[in-house]
Structure formats: C-alpha cells, structure tokens
Amino acid sequence: MMAKKDGKPRPFRRAVLAGLGVLLPPLLTLALFLWAWSLVESYVLDPVDWAARSTVVAFIDDVHDESPKEIKSSEIGSTEVKTGLIDSTEFVQLSTTQWIPVEIYRSVKSDPGDTDLSQANANDVYLRYVRLNYLKRPVVIVVFLCLFVIVLYILGKFLAAGIGRMTLRLFERVINHVPIIRNVYSSVKQVTDFLFTEREMEFNRVVAVQYPSQGIWSIGFVTGESMQSLHDSIGEPVLSVLMPTSPMPATGFTITVPKSRTIDLGITVDQAIQFVVSCGVVVPINEQVLDGDSSEVKGAVESVVAGLIDDSSDDSSDSSTLTNTADQPS
C-alpha cells in the first residue's frame, strides 16, 4: 500500500495501524504473563511437584524384586501381564521385572498420561499413581502458592531482624565481588527495590528542567525541597528533582535545581511515566501539538459549541421577553 503524495498514510493503512495499537497492548501483556508463568512452572513448580510426589512415593511404595512362588497370566485392561501373590497381596510384574500391587497398576492403567507402562519402572508408575490419587495439579498449585507466601513472610521477617540484615549485607558483598554477576544483580535489585520496597517518597508534581545542558528540556518528578545550605547559598528556593530514564523509569538520578529554573507541567505523574516509558511517543492529550488539520477541526468544533451556547442564550432571552409580554395587562 503506497502512501499519498503529501506523506499522509492512506485510510486503510491508518485503520490497520490503529487496530494494531488497540490489539497489541493486551496481547503483549498476555504473552508476558504466559512467558513468566511458563518460567515459574518449568523451573519452580515442576521441581517442587516432583519432589513432593517422590516424598509420598517413598512412604507408600511397595516394590519387590523377587518373583512370587506362583505366577499366572492375567489380563488387565486388554493387556496380558504376569501376576502372583506376595504376602497375600496380588502383584503384577513390570517390564523391568519389578513387582508392584495390582491395584496400583490398574489405577495408572486407567489413566496413564505420559507414563508408558510397557517401559516404565516402579518409580514411574508410583509417581503417576500419586498424581492421580493424592497430588493432583490444581492441589499442587494451591499448596505451592500458600507455601510460597508463607516462605516470603518468614524471609521478610528474618531480613527485617538484625541477623537477617547482616546476612543480606554479607551476601551482597560476596555478589559484588563477582565480575559479571554483580552487574546483573545490581540492575535487577534496583528494579525490584523500586517496585516492591515501601517508600515514603512521593512525587509532588511534574516539572521540566533544562538538563543536561541549556536548551535541552527533560521531564522530572519533584520529590521535595532540597538542602537548606543550598537554599541559603543560592538565595532562592531549590527543588530535588528525580530525572527518570527511558524506557525504564524505575531507574534514574536526582538533581537539585533552583525553583525559578523549572517549569510546572499540567500533567499527572502517571501521564509523565507513560511519556517516559514510550520514549516520548505517548503525549498527554492536553499537551499534544495539533497539526493544521487538527487545528481546523478543533476550531470548527469550538465554533459549533459557541454557536450552540449563543443559540441557547438567544432562546432564553426570547422566552423571557415573551413571558414578560404575556404578563403585561392589555
């Protein structure tokens, strides 16, 4: 699709881009959450699930390597197997020559899942049995989340104590001596501290500051009044301003500037964060610079609104005149 000669996109292309702008944010958000969940499931939930099932198997397994004295052929679920009695309990032989109780085999045979009974050993069969009868996936997820919250609570209480803080400082001191890991750790820690640490700092308002040089304006968040010594030295009020970095406003740096050298912007903190994250693409509606066509549309709308207001005023005046005329005696 070619663009028009005046450089403006055709209606079809404009509509497609508008559709992408509406559709991509929720899709990317969903994809991000699914990716995060897949990581948690692969590296945390699955190992915890396997460890829990293995623990249960260690308590309930009943596996024999020696064959029973009397062996007979039986059919379980259209599969011919060898069975026999061991301590008055009927056992079935697996392909690995191990013997397990028939009830365990039947339960897994009814819903084998990923377990291939023609090649599985006793531990594989018992792990599947525990999944079917004790630790189903939804139960594991709920228990895992509860335990995870409890662990976070205990860890938070521990780190809040004196010995916990000492342990954390020692751990960070060791990490900071590892060449590559310390860079990754410090960056991740800055983001997590910004997102999860309770801070008393609040952004009062959004200002524009000439930074890093004259003529270059940057957006910052006023965090409060600066130091008294600077106020006395400069002879006018000074402000502490947090200068966020794009596209990650979780990081930044603080500068101190005279109040007279700042410009208050009529936007909210959320709008300023959107502006920084989008690298200046998302501009608040009340701050957008209108092009020629938009200016004409805005002027036309304002004219229509003004006309409606004038008509309404004229109608009110006419109604008042008619009322006064009707009230006068003939």
- Per-residue pLDDT band for 56 (boundaries 50, 70, 90) equals very high
If you ran DSSP here, which 8-state letter would residue 250 be given? T
Q: Is the pLDDT of residue 34 over 70?
A: yes
What is the torsional sign of CA 133, 138, 140, 143? negative
Phi-psi region of 224 (alpha: psi -120 to 50; beta: other; left: phi over 0): left
How much is the average pLDDT of 63-88? 88
pLDDT of residue 322: 40
* Secondary-structure breakdown of the chain: helix, strand, coil percentages, each rounded to the nearest 5: 55, 15, 25
pLDDT score of 299: 54
pTM of the model: 0.52
pLDDT above 90 covers a percentage of the chain that reads 16
Which carries the bigger pLDDT value, residue 159 or residue 264? 264
Reading the block at residue 71, the tokens are 């062996």
pLDDT greater than 60 at residue 39: yes
Is the pLDDT reported for residue 148 higher than 80?
A: yes
Domains and CATH numbers, the chain: 41-159 (no CATH), 205-285 (2.30.30)
When pLDDT is cut at 50, 70 and 90, the band that residue 91 belongs to is: very high
The rounded distance, in Å, linking the Cα atoms of 276 and 246 is 5
- Decide: 263 and 207 in contact? Cβ < 8 Å: yes
pLDDT recorded at residue 323: 43
pLDDT band, very low/low/confident/very high, at 273 (cuts 50, 70, 90): confident
Q: So what's the pLDDT on residue 108?
A: 92
pLDDT for res 310: 57
Instruction: Assess whether pLDDT exceeds 60 at residue 312.
Output: no
